[in-house]
Structure formats: structure tokens, C-alpha cells
Amino acid sequence: MATIGKDIQAAAQILADGQLVAIPTETVYGLGGNALNRASVLSIFETKNRPAFDPLIIHTDSLEKVGHFVTKFDGMAKALAEAFWPGPLTLLLPKRDIIPDIVTSGLDMVAVRIPDHALTLELLGTLDFPLAAPSANPFGYISPVSAAHVDAQLGDKIAYILDGGECNVGIESTIVGFVEDVPTIYRLGGLAVEDIEAVVGKANVLPHSTSNPQAPGMLKSHYAPRKPFFIKSADELLHAPADVAVLFFTKPEALSTNITRVLSDTGDVREAAHNLFTYLRELDTSDASEIWAEYTPVNGLGVAINDRLKRAAAL
Ligand code: TXA
Ligand code: MG
């Protein structure tokens, strides 16, 4: 069973020994391992049951260190990094040979980010290697946003969970690459497209199936609860059968008698993102037979929330 604690030295030692540690970030918890050690990276894939064609993000704590892992870091990429790191942004940059091919599933680009979480930044500062860290959930399930979420699913497979409390942002980072110098969003996430465009101009948002460049369309179900999950209109939610669990965006006029969660009483998309995965887990572990949810408005993080709802419904 995993030890849950805040001991950075213990976590650093376990990682230096090649084992895995779950790390808190502002987005979701990551399953961290030494990105420069092939055996550690392989055990990340095995622990998550993740297919080898789905590449990992590496995490570090300074712009200077990023330069050790990539061959080119300037222009729009540098401008975004300076504007938003530490923060919920991942950049696709051309990798140096020091990054093993297993990290990038053989691609020439490596995904890099500096996460915004004090404990993890301190941990990264003590390490002489970057951490490869996918979300710390079994492949395809809802991402964890607390140490307890990690423990519930991977606790028997990892040595240590660094407990940094609840994740502030609550959904994964926004992944940005550059296709012929056009900023391109590979995955919608915790940094709004509007914020990115304010720094680098118009961005091209790829359809979600292409977030996995080597297997477009293969991952139609992602972030998925175990119960059947459907997207419905606000009116349908209010009239859901009694055994359906209901996820409202904002407080409805009348509350149904069903098992219910409201993502944000005031209709704030940031608060909704923060609550999304916790509420999905709660509804998924409830007695309900299925889950119905409604889309959020399409401003700010609402677009990224809807992307996750769509994937949960395998749309
Ligand atoms: O917020 C986050 O990004 C969290 C925390 C732990 O940092 N991490 C995370 O990792 O969500 P993961 O592995 O669950 O999702 C990483 C995504 C995958 O969809 C993968 O296909 C994409 O990043 N990715 C990684 N490297 C890539 C590359 N070289 N080209 C295109 N996509 C890449
Ligand atoms: Mg993930």
C-alpha cells in the first residue's frame, strides 16, 4: 500500500531509486517517474495500463532546465511559457536525444510543462532529472484531483503519494504545439484558449481525437465513468428517472429528487472545472444506474469541460 504524506526527501529518494511517486499539480495528480530512466517510464505505462503509443508529459521547474531537454525553445513557445508557467500549459517542443523515445512514443516532439504546485516544484528542484507524469488514474478513467482519488485506484501499485491537497484547477493542462508556426491546441484544458490567443494570436483547435497523433480516433472513450453516461438538455435533467444521477452545470430552478451535484451554484466555469472530476467520481460510486449531465457555456474553461463530458459520453 502507498504511504500518503508530504515528505519531499522520501519522495525524491523513491524516484531516484527508479520507482514511482504520485505528485500533486494544480491540474490533476500525476504518476511521476524519472523521465530519463527507461525502466521507470516503462513502469508508468504498466501501472496505468496505458498503451505505449500514448506519449507522456515531462515536468520540470525552470525555463533553464527546459533548454536541457529540447533543441529549440524560442518565439511563441517561449512567450507562452513566460506568460503562463508555472501553470496549466503543456508545450510540444523538439526533443533532445537525452529524452528516451519511450517517453514520446517515438515522436520527435516532447510535451513539457512546469506545474504550479509548491510541493511539486520543491520536489522537482531537488531532482537532477525531469519527471514523466501522466494523470495518476488507470488508463481511460476519470483523472484524480486528490490524494484519496489516487489511493483508491493506484494505492496498491505505487510506493508513495505526495499529498498536496485538492488540485486548484481540476482539469488537465492545455497542450499547445506549433504546426508551420500556427499555435495549435492538441488538448483543451485548464488554460483557456482566449488566454493563449491574447499572447500568440489566433490558435487552431484540433478535434479531440487527434490529441493522440499516432492513433487518431482510437480513444473515443476517455475520462469515462464506469456507469453509462449521457449528455442531456437542462429540461431532461430536471425530469430524469429516479435512479439516474444528475450533474447540473448551475443551480436549476427546481431541484430533482435524484442524486445530484451542481458544478457551480453561481455558474462560474472555473469553479465548475475545479469540481468536475470529484463530482463525476461521487456520482459514479453512487447507487444510481446511470449518469446524466448537461453542457456548460462555451466561454473560458467551459470549452474544456464540455470536451471532457463529450469524451465521457464517447461522443
Ligand atoms: O495536467 C496535465 O497535463 C497532467 C498533469 C499530471 O501534468 N498530465 C496529463 O498527462 O494529463 P496525460 O498523460 O494524462 O495526458 C498527456 C497527453 C496525452 O493525451 C498525450 O497524447 C499528449 O499529452 N502528448 C504527450 N506527448 C505528446 C506529443 N509529443 N505529441 C502530441 N501529444 C502528446
Ligand atoms: Mg490522462
- The CATH number that applies at residue 269 is 3.40.50.11030
Q: What is the pLDDT of residue 207?
A: 82
Assigned domain for 202 exists: no
- Asked if residue 236 and residue 145 are part of one domain, the reply reads no
Q: What is the pLDDT of residue 209?
A: 52
Which protein residues are within 6 Å of ligand 1, measured from CB?
25, 27-28, 30, 54-57, 90, 92, 104, 107, 109-111, 113, 115, 133-135, 172-173, 175, 186-187, 211-213
Q: What is the pLDDT of residue 219?
A: 54
- Asked if residue 165 and residue 234 are part of one domain, the reply reads no
Assigned domain for 128 exists: yes
CA of 222 to the centre of ligand 1 (A): 13
Domain that holds residue 139: 3-169
Is 143 assigned to a binding site?
yes
Closest CA to 251 of 237, 241, 264, 260: 264
Low-confidence spans in the chain with pLDDT less than 70 = 208-222
Task: Give percent helix, percent strand, percent coil of the chain, each to the nearest 5.
Answer: 30, 20, 50
Q: What is the pLDDT of residue 298?
A: 95
Gap between the Cα atoms of 69 and 73, Å rounded: 10
Q: What is the pLDDT of residue 213?
A: 46
Q: What is the pLDDT of residue 226?
A: 94
- Asked if residue 235 and residue 149 are part of one domain, the reply reads no
Cβ atoms within 10 Å, residue 247: 27
Q: Atom of ligand 1 at shortest distance to CA of 115? A: 7
Give the bridge partners for 23, in sequence order.
30
Gap between the Cα atoms of 290 and 301, Å rounded: 25
Q: What is the pLDDT of residue 255?
A: 76
Which of 169, 192, 219 is the last residue before a domain boundary? 169
- Asked if residue 144 and residue 18 are part of one domain, the reply reads yes
DSSP state of 210: G
Pocket test for ligand 1, best of 69, 90, 117 (most atoms within 8 A of CB): 90
Helix (H, G, I), strand (E, B) or coil at 38: helix
Assigned domain for 204 exists: no
Closest CA to 88 of 185, 218, 224: 185
- Asked if residue 126 and residue 275 are part of one domain, the reply reads no
Please report which ligand is nearest the Cα atom of 30.
Answer: 1
Which of 134, 153, 169 is the last residue before a domain boundary? 169
Report how many domains make up the chain.
2
